Amino acid sequence: MTNNEFSKLLDKKLAGVATKKDLKNLVTKEDAKNFATKKDLEKFATKKDLEAVRDDVQKVEFQLKLTEQKFEQKLEDTFSKYSKEMLDKFDLVIGELQKIREENVFGQAQFERLVARVERLEQHVGLEPLL
């Protein structure tokens, strides 16, 4: 291996390695003053705190699901009750409507018979028809 080849190989190996110059620019003393201290980190939530929050959230989710199920059941019960009442009332209305239609058919037939009779009587007596 020649010196040139070795130099190229060495450059490739060291390409991802930081130099002293790189490290000097990484963090300054002024930057280090703004880092969090141990005391600052104590203010953050601990694993135990996060587990407690998770447990609380799960309890709230459970209560919410129960409330949602109760609401859906109550809504379904109310809808079933009123829909049955409405269907019963519609049945009554439809029954009355059908009865009125049947009476109307019989009344129309009776009316036509009476008109025919009046016309025959008018012809027999010699009266002029009113209509």
Which tens digits make up the pLDDT trace of 47-88? Answer: 898 999 999 999 999 999 999 999 999 999 999 889 989 999
Map residue 19 onto helix, strand or coil: coil
How many helices and strands, by DSSP H and E, does the chain display?
Answer: 5, 0
* DSSP secondary structure letter of residue 16: T
3 state SS for 69-86: HHHHHHHHHHHHHHHHHH
Q: Is residue 90 very low, low, confident or very high in pLDDT (cuts 50, 70, 90)?
A: very high
pTM of the model: 0.40
Contacts of 30 (CB under 8 A, 6+ apart): none
Residue 91 has pLDDT above 60, yes or no: yes
Arithmetic mean of pLDDT, 105-115: 94
| pLDDT for residue 13 | 58
Q: State the Cα–Cα distance between residues 57 and 66, nearest whole angstrom.
A: 14
Map residue 44 onto helix, strand or coil: coil
Q: State the Cα–Cα distance between residues 59 and 52, nearest whole angstrom.
A: 11
Q: Is residue 10 very low, low, confident or very high in pLDDT (cuts 50, 70, 90)?
A: low
Q: Is residue 6 very low, low, confident or very high in pLDDT (cuts 50, 70, 90)?
A: low
